Copies of this chain bind each other. A is one copy, B any other.
């Protein structure tokens, strides 16, 4: 069963500066993660439910199964990516693991 890491970045102080680092630095770190099937980043434009625009970005990393995801998180490249996440993720950002239907 395919699984994915789902990352929700809350609103940064400077969205464009965040994106600049995110795309130039964080993206390549993600791409180096072993076992990654594919990943996708997206920037939120609006809250379709007219509620608060809680998050600035979503990123998803797909893996073949849970052991692959866990191995990726424990790898050197996974740790480097997590370190960068720790530096850039605004307070309230979230990270979840999900099983795809």
Contacts and interface: CB of A to CB of B under 8 A. Distances in A.
- With most chain B CB atoms within 10 A of its CB, the pick from A49, A53, A54, A93 is A49
A48 B101 contact: no
Interface residues of A, number: 33
Interface of A: 3-6, 23, 27, 40-49, 51, 53-55, 57-58, 66, 73, 93-101
Contact of A44 (B54, B73, B98): B98
Given A58-B6, A101-B23, A96 B48 contact: yes
Contacts of A6: 42, 44, 58
**Binding site secondary structure of chain A:** strand
Given A5-B48, A48-B5, A101-B23, A96 B40 contact: no
A100 B40 contact: yes
Given A6-B58, A55-B96, A96-B53, A101 B41 contact: yes
Contact of A49 (B46, B47, B55, B95): B95
